[in-house]
Amino acid sequence: MPDASADLSNIRERLGSKVLEILQPQGDEVLILERAGLRESFRLLKEDKQLDYDFLSDITAVDYWRKKETRFEVVYQILSRGRRRRLRVRVPVPENDPSVESLTPLWRGANFLEREIWDLFGIRFIDHPDLRRILLYEEFEGFPLRKDYPVNLVQPRVPERAVEGTFVDEASHNKLLRLKKTLGTKI
């Protein structure tokens, strides 16, 4: 890309073939990175004195089901506090092997964020210390933010009790109910 900023071309130089594409939509800086050796790429972005992207802002994922060739994309928002720059890193993840290297060794805050992505998208994070569901419960089946998960599917945690007629609590201390019982239908 001819008009890539000096920063982005610097990154491309350092990371070489790891960089698949460089985009600059709406004034943002976007890097599309290869999945292999992702942690090392991030380590360079974080620890290099010139780049200095030392703060992880957010990790999320997008499911491009039937829209893109590689179905998932994990999206990282990192920023350099010193240089006041944001960088967005997108990593395509194929459907047949939805896994990415975990960033918890670099930023411990990645723990919760990656657990959330595992929970809602079913993307595994390799070397994650504690990959459990976080917002949903362990018994939940499927990954709700995938586009092929139906929005109206109900998975009650406790099976619902069948309701027959109006529910009457016989053991209740309800005064009115007791009065009705003793007086019959008079009230």
Partner 1 sequence: MEAETKELPVDTMELQMGPSHPATHGTIKFNLKLEGEKVLNCDVEVGYLHRGFAKSCEQVTWTQVIPYTDRLNYASSLINNVGYALAVEKLIGAETPPRCQYIRVIISELARIFDHLTCCGMAASELGAITVGFYMIEARELIMQIIENLTGARLTVTYVRLGGVKHDLPQDFAERVTQSFKIIRKLLDDCDRLLSRNRIFLDRMSNVGVISQETALSYCLTGPILRATGVSYDVRKAFPYLVYDQMDFEVPLGTKGDNYDRFVCRISELDQSMRIVEQALTQLPVGPVWIDDPRFVLPEKEKVYGSIEGLMHHFKIIMEGVKVPPGETYLAVEGGNGELGFYIVSDGAGRPYRVRVRPPCFIAMGAFHEMIRGYMVADIVPTFGMVNMIGGECDR
Angle at 87 between CA 62 and CA 100, to 5 degrees: 45
* CB nearer partner 1, residue 51 or residue 120: 120
* CB nearer partner 1, residue 37 or residue 105: 105
Smallest CA-to-CA distance from 113 within 72, 74, 73, 65 is with 74
151 binds partner 1 (CB under 8 A): yes
* CB nearer partner 1, residue 66 or residue 186: 66
Report the nearest approach of partner 1 to the CB of residue 90 (Å).
8
52 binds partner 1 (CB under 8 A): no
Q: Which of residues 67-126 bind partner 1 (CB under 8 A)?
A: 67, 75, 77, 81, 84, 86, 88, 107-113, 116, 120
Distances from the Cα of 140 to the Cα of 160, 161, 166, 181, angstroms: 16, 19, 31, 44
Report the nearest approach of partner 1 to the CB of residue 170 (Å).
28
